[in-house]
Structure 1
């Protein structure tokens, strides 16, 4: 199964640096490379994605695999969330690695398997973070259909039925989703969300077996237990993997491949062993970013650059309350807090850092976003800034075209790992139209160009109020919570306008 695992805070993605440490540690002992299995959640996609890109820059052989099979969220643009089916990939990839498959082959076979599985579940009660209230409410005679493994509520509430009725309802949807038919073979995973008794799990397993056999679908394997829990949530999920004619025998062989992992089947890992691998403080130093510089700024240009960053940091701090309010309907209500922390960290950075090479500054800012912001926002900003840094490092001169290319590189990186595009109600709806206006006018008068770009950024942020969220956290909630501007889009407009207005004043 897995050779390494990286955990963040409860229900949160780990930081990029933690993921990168794990990649580098495994690569130290496995020259064939590292495959990183990423659950299909925005924060994980961003932070794990940034770690993969940094590892590649450092010369590490690594491949990423984004997996997700949730039926309830399958309508999202980025696909269904990762549920307990992700554990199947630990086993499939682990088996292939043990059998000597190369890195790209492992990734491709696993990606193919992801197309042939689906998961759906229910819960009778919510969970709660330690010391806090429950994350949502359920009446005593109701259940939530489509609840997630991070404490999320489901897509709809239903009246409680018998085990047979509930299992039938779930499997009807799963079977239809992956188009199973009579004569097919499946591997089944029944996942305890944390607070379901063994007695209940056995009843559910029996009902699942009966349902499939009545449909003349053969359950070749049934794995039941605590595969991917949601703290004390009282519920379960059922995942089916279609062991199709082309690949099914191989997938089944990989699922059966011997492992001593305790969570899968028990074994020697329950016994204390000797030795172990200690921390290696030099590990990430050996795989740090290669030195790249790009265009050099004159003393005057450095002062303008410094002023731009200081002004942007001040403006996001001033608008903390506004951004929190815009974020409260569809998020955690902390967008303003997060951006303020970033701004404060930038202000501290500017007191002691050289701005001679803007590529290096942007890289430093990406690291600050990674460590000081956290969450999805930190991942987005870190990815965008690091991509802009790498693009600018390859520029030949400090001109409008070079900065436009860096701008476009940042947006491409955000789209690649965040899954969003212009029109999806995100910060890209500010950045993209502003970049288009900048590109169309950059050969003209500089002040006129920047003023038009400022206007485009504001217009783009305002337009998000009428958009349907198709990516990010807002896409998971009802549209009644997204009637105002997107917080991320307005935040991008605030700092972009602050930067451009500062330059206008200085010319």
Structure 2
């Protein structure tokens, strides 16, 4: 085995040109911005002196949307990009300061992260600008809890974005350079950041920077692809969020009654699903500590290419200036990367349902013909047997679904089976129409997904068929069966032969129909055999409907999972009835 790790795939043109291509893409997407290509600077388009203070930042590329994505009215006036995870050279920073001062005679405030390269290159540019008579101030941000013990202070992670918004809003309101600089210093004393990563990123043309075991995560990972300060075992979102917030709260010395805003920074490869769960867990944890969450900002702020992980950055809204800072954070901006807007403002008492709206859709009375006591026992046994077989078939159905779907058919069907078993513990089976209706509701609420929708639709149609019947007979069961298939075809779009559950369902229904006048035992056996045959035949059929129709045919080498599930429960029902007749 080769000791070398493979290069990670990335959609770029060249390693050497990816930073410049990225910057061109930004101004192509947002043409009201201007790219200064020789200096890798992005600015707001300006033709006359605004008289305001310009706000500037920057640093290495690979952290997008930081920093060019925050250029816009009410945030940054300009951003300087370095190479991937590399500080921009002094000359490019000086160019950005000089250009912005030309159109913003109120001065320039430079916001930079606490990294040696940025401190040196931005610092030298600031000093050169002052020598040239430019009014300029700088503020260095180093809010990382994990590295806070370092001699030079913690690293700058993502809290810089707070200052982009606050300083940008102050500039838009007309505050002078001295006031903006003082506020930036005050704010920087009131925030802290800590995060974890679950997998490493890789520089263009390179393998992953480090390895993390499947059951581990790195605490305190940085935004330059570096590993964290400690490896920890994976936990749930609640556990990880609680651990991070406990350390941040201790670092900031927050107490009951304090008010905060929280920024959740996606390090690049974390799904929005995960980010939303993390956000909800942050609110829950802060509530438990009686710390008031005023705003939650979630999204990509300062990423680390495709690193899977996130940072939590907490800003303490202190009693002296908290309301002022919050107002600045709420001020409008045109910067494309800022994740907040009108919907971000408001209290968090917003999670509840209106239980009255669907009451009129609930079946309230018994409808259709009823079953005798003996028939009820058989019906209950059929449902119990079918449910148990579906539960036991989880692994098989997941495997069949994995090639052409998302591999969860067995999980979904098992949920249905478990819910049916639970229903049968107390639910009445006297009226078939009502039972089928209840099963359709169970499929909708407990099963979920596409399969849940299909089963719910089919069962509700079967329920309606029985509601208009006068008696319970094999012919009435067939009518309900056919109504069910018609509804599935009408709304699902599939027909028999399209490699779906209908292949088994239709084959079985036809066999049952053809043998209605024969011996019941013979009719049931023929029905079960037809369902089995219908499922097996799907292995050689072309998918024309359902999720399988979206994938290449080489992935469709086995039976359709939905068709196999139908064959399983039909066989279970037939087997049970045969023991009773």
| TM-score after normalising by structure 1 | 0.52
Aligned equivalent of 2:190:
116
Aligned equivalent of 2:149:
75
CA distance in 1, matches of 2:181, 2:211: 40
Aligned equivalent of 1:44:
118
| 2:277 is the alignment partner of 1:224 | no
Q: CA RMSD in A?
A: 1.0
Could you list the runs of 5+ residues in structure 1 that have no partner in the other structure? 268-507
Matches for 1:233-312 after TM superposition, within 5 Å: 233-265=307-339
Matches for 1:453-468 after TM superposition, within 5 Å: none
Aligned residues: 267
Q: Deviations over 1:130-165 (max 9, x none)?
A: 110111111111000000011111000000011110
Question: Which of structure 1's runs of 4+ aligned residues deviate more than 4 A?
Answer: none
CA distance in 1, matches of 2:137, 2:207: 39
Aligned equivalent of 1:144:
218
CA distance in 1, matches of 2:177, 2:115: 23
| 2:279 is the alignment partner of 1:205 | yes
Q: Deviations over 1:174-214 (max 9, x none)?
A: 00000011000001100000000000000000000100011
Question: Which of 87, 104, 107 is residue 161 of structure 2 equivalent to?
Answer: 87
Matches for 1:90-169 after TM superposition, within 5 Å: 90-169=164-243
User: Quick check: 1:120–1:146 contact (8 Å CA) kept in 2?
Assistant: yes
| 2:98 is the alignment partner of 1:24 | yes
Aligned equivalent of 1:336:
none
Q: Deviations over 1:389-430 (max 9, x none)?
A: xxxxxxxxxxxxxxxxxxxxxxxxxxxxxxxxxxxxxxxxxx
Q: Deviations over 1:76-132 (max 9, x none)?
A: 111111011110010010011111111011011111111111000000000000110
Aligned equivalent of 2:135:
61
SS at match of 1:262: coil
Question: Which of 60, 75, 87 is residue 13 of structure 1 equivalent to?
Answer: 87
User: Quick check: 2:297–2:340 contact (8 Å CA) kept in 1?
Assistant: no
Q: Which has the higher helix share?
A: 1
CA distance in 1, matches of 2:142, 2:296: 20
SS at match of 1:224: strand
Assess, with a 3 A threshold, how the Cα gap between structure 1 residues 128 and 122 changes in structure 2: closer, same or farther. Answer: same
Aligned equivalent of 1:190:
264
Q: Deviations over 1:318-340 (max 9, x none)?
A: xxxxxxxxxxxxxxxxxxxxxxx
Q: Which has the higher contact order (CA 8 A, sep 6+)?
A: 1
User: Quick check: 1:260–1:266 contact (8 Å CA) kept in 2?
Assistant: no
SS at match of 2:225: coil
Q: Deviations over 1:198-238 (max 9, x none)?
A: 00000000000100011110110000000110000000000
SS at match of 1:194: coil
User: Quick check: 2:299–2:339 contact (8 Å CA) kept in 1?
Assistant: no
Cα offset for 1:252? 0.2
CA distance in 2, matches of 1:59, 1:233: 42
CA distance in 1, matches of 2:151, 2:174: 35
| TM-score after normalising by structure 2 | 0.46
Matches for 1:428-439 after TM superposition, within 5 Å: none
Larger radius of gyration: 2
CA distance in 2, matches of 1:265, 1:142: 30
Aligned equivalent of 1:398:
none
Cα offset for 1:265? 4.0
User: Quick check: 1:181–1:217 contact (8 Å CA) kept in 2?
Assistant: yes
Q: Deviations over 1:35-55 (max 9, x none)?
A: 000111000000000000000
